[in-house]
Chain A
Amino acid sequence: MKQRYQFHGGVHPAANKTQSTQTPIARAALPSHLVIPFRQHAGEAAKPVVQAGEYVLKGQLIGAAVGSISSSIHAPTSGTISAIDSQTVVHPSGLPDLCATLIPDGKDEWIEHHAVDYRNLSQLELRQHLRRCGIVGLGGATFPSDIKLRALKSPPGKNTGILIINGAECEPYITCDDMLMRERADEIVRGTDMLRFALSAGEVLIGIEDNKPEAIAAMRRAVAESGLPFEVVAVPTIYPGGSAKHLIRVLTGLEVPSGKLPTDIGVQCFNVATTYSIHRALDHGEPLISRIVTVTGNVAQPQNFEVLIGTPILELVAQAGNKPDTNRHIIGGPMMGVQIPSDTVTLTKATNCIIASSPALFPPLPPTLPCIRCTRCAEVCPVELQPQDLYWYAKAKDFAKTQAFSLFDCIECGACSYVCPSHIPLVDYYRFAKSEVRARDAEKQAADKARIRHEFRELRIEREKQEKAEKLAAKEKAAMAAKQAAPAPAAPQTDPENTVQMKIQAAIEHAKEQAAAVKPKNTETLTPEQQADIAEIEARRARIRELASSHVEQPKEN
């Protein structure tokens, strides 16, 4: 049995997973329309490559990846693109983003696609294929998977890198990975083998929390049948045990250093759903156009659906049976999920679960009391932060101190808020502090840039001046040398200082002449009438100036 390690803290909220695992994964009905955001992944948004009115086939590229971190977007079904415009998307900010609206024609007709022989592809070709297929991490971070596929270095004390497949699924209510492992274990194992090949990983560990015995059994069977040397490890059920860094810790005992990536210690981690879609992309050539989504909470029949990306959330929820007292919908789990900002938002690659919520299911919090420094938050923090101190400094807007207390190591798992007996929304304070720090950093960077530019300009002007002076001095020296070299009996001996003095004198004379030159020229031959007119105009000007200045000053006095 594989040795397992522990991490500090963690909580045990009620799992509430059995409700949605009673029935197999159902295929969601073809929606009336799909709204597909061009930004469904970490990094740069995809660039639209179709136009409104265009007919597209299922799996056809509609948004191309641009930049180093980006991914592609595809049409989830065949139909007509009716619009490409800004729409509200799933994001706590509620801000709109560029989306394509697709009206299905009901034929669900595939574009031509083929399996690829990944063993005969170069590393680069393999990565490009996954990028073209729009494969991103489906565990929540939606990081483009192609970027993670580089040959692993070996962790300390090992010969080969470690590949970890994350089937922990630690958040309450969510069961999409559980059901996927139960029903499509063979495909996940195939995907895992592809990842192992691409990463040249030696050791492969599949971590599943021990509250999913069916998934563990299915995966063990699939691994045994494949004959591949993978190990399915049952890890203790604890939230947030599915966080990549924490699962790595539990399975390997290694700790990913703060601010570093797992690859820095020779480990790479993929979610089971990502692994499955990698299998689809390589063995079938299918882009990522659908995913498994748990619909649970206050619905008639909680269950998992295979859903096309872009499906309206509420249309999907209706298929599980609406209940009248539903007051909000949450995307994700109850610990880290977000409330949907509008009823029109649609499913993205990141959507793993939709919880219909009612006041009975998630009752409003009792009134918040002051922090009594009981440190229950510190006891459960999986990153070993001091949440009570972070809260104190975030509340006081002492952001320098929050950073000294490792604010940016916070993974916003919500364990601290969950256990707080004073019901302080701690994570909200950390999100606020983080955004403030980021905004200030951006501001500072802009100011720094401007300052550097200004300083450089000053420097350049100074340098040019100096260069000019040097050139002049050199010229004079040369001239003097020439003079001295030539026999000049009558000429008085001129020392360089004298020459400079003379030059200054000449410059002053010149300046005086110039100043005289800009005087109004035709003032000498004016008639008295004209002079009177000019005097009057001057007086009027003076009065206006006076009025204007008193107007400006008045509000100050009041």
Chain B
Amino acid sequence: MRFSPFINKPITVSQIMLRVLLALIPGIVLYVWHFGPAILVSITLASITALATEALMLKLRNRPIAPFLQDNSALLTGWLLALSIPPLAPWWLIVVGTAFCIAISKHLYGGLGNNMFNPAMIGFAVLIVSFPAQMTHWLTPHGLHQIELSFADQLEYMFFGILPAGVTLDAITMATPLDTLKTHLHLDEPMKQILDMPIYGRLAGQGSEMVAWGFLAGGLYLIAARIISWHIPVAYLGSLFITAGIFHLTDPAHYVTPLFHWFSGAAMIGAFFILTDPVSSPTTNKGRLIFAAGAGVLTYLIRAFGGFPDGTAFATLLMNICVPLIVVYTQPKVFGKKGARR
């Protein structure tokens, strides 16, 4: 005996996740273009680790393995983590981070659909707290330094920790544009002088601003394809822009432009790919606006006044905590109850 409805819209979780993965491709292509192919290696490592950990955890939890491995959600978590950490890092960094994401922050909470926190951001938080040194060695964009590692050299460093003779890690990596800005502002250097440094491009960091454009394009596709709603990206970028704008207008010598914040760090990937994780974000549209606006303000505060160069990850996690409360207070009115108060 089967019950109605007997028909279903042909859409699956697997397809939704796949489209999100596809939407990351423009950003990844630009990443490779500006920073070299090392990111592809860390994405591959993250994918393998994610699927292996997922399978292992499903087996330990006595859950069917095939349908869950095909849902693409573990892959997405792995990709997002890989895109959040420096690609030129020892291989175990991404492996440890991804395994933690899947095993601890996803499966120990009950698996797909039950994690309270964004798994990728938990992985990021664990890595930046546990391995701060490795997490600061960001690749320099092409054309910025004299020395550039070949792909083979990069692989050798990632898997065996060996750099070519005469090359130090500092010579081929750098701090992120956000980090650099913070350090130099601490040294009381004038804003204009800092932004004239070669690592800065038109809006924000050289190269990284282009990657942010890629994520923006992918994110707009997600909205157009109705995979995500506009509420979270608009509220997040909006509140980040407004907060940064207020500080910038008050004291332009110490606070960069809102656009710099948009195109730096994880703001774009966060707005469209991380905060929009349906499992750990609110289910009501009003709630989404509050959630993302809160994350935007927190991101700015952490960036401008906190101890970490970027704030998207911690802003996401902090707002994840508030989701159940936000959802309770933002319930929409039911049909036929519009006049009455809940």
Contact = CB atoms under 8 A, between A and B. Distances in A.
Contacts of A338: 3-4
Contact of A370 (B11, B15, B114, B333): B114
Nearest to B12: A421
Contact of A257 (B3, B13, B114, B339): B339
B11 A369 contact: no
Interface in A1-15: 7-8, 11, 13-14
Contact of B7 (A245, A335, A388): A335
Interface stretch (A130-138, A189-197, A412-420): A412-420
Contacts, number: 135
Interface stretch (A39-47, A282-290, A373-381, A488-496): A373-381
B283 A369 contact: no
Contact of A362 (B6, B11, B12, B113): B6
Given A372-B278, A389-B283, A421-B11, A255 B4 contact: no
A372 B2 contact: no
B11 A8 contact: no
27 contacts: A7-B335, A11-B9, A14-B7, A245-B336, A257-B339, A334-B7, A336-B4, A339-B2, A362-B7, A367-B64, A370-B111, A370-B112, A372-B13, A372-B16, A373-B279, A383-B336, A388-B283, A406-B337, A414-B4, A414-B5, A417-B8, A419-B8, A419-B11, A421-B11, A421-B16, A428-B3, A431-B3
B335 A335 contact: no
Given A258-B334, A378-B283, A406-B334, A366 B5 contact: no
Contacts of A382: 335
Nearest to A367: B67
Interface in A341-385: 341, 357, 362, 365-367, 369-376, 378, 382-385
B291 to A, nearest CB: 13
B80 to A, nearest CB: 15
B16 A92 contact: no
A260 interface: yes
Contacts of A470: none
Contacts of B12: 366, 421, 423
A245 B335 contact: yes
Given A373-B279, A386-B283, A427 B5 contact: yes
A337 interface: yes
A383 B111 contact: no
A397 interface: no
Nearest to A14: B7
Contact of A365 (B8, B67, B327, B339): B8
Interface of B: 1-9, 11-13, 15-16, 64, 67-68, 71, 73, 111-114, 278-279, 283-284, 327, 331-340
B23 to A, nearest CB: 15
A236 interface: no
A155 B231 CA distance: 37
Using C-beta atoms within 8 Å of the partner chain, give the interface range for chain A: 35 or more
A330 interface: yes
Contacts of B338: 255
Contact of B3 (A259, A339, A373, A418): A339
Interface string A388-431: 11000000000000000110010000100111111101011001
A336 B283 contact: no
Nearest to B3: A428
Nearest to A415: B5
Contact of A375 (B6, B68, B73, B283): B283
A111 interface: no
A369 B13 contact: yes
A418 B336 contact: no
A336 B111 CA distance: 32
B231 to A, nearest CB: 11
A367 B67 CA distance: 7
A249 B338 CA distance: 13
Contacts of A11: 9
Contacts of A405: 331
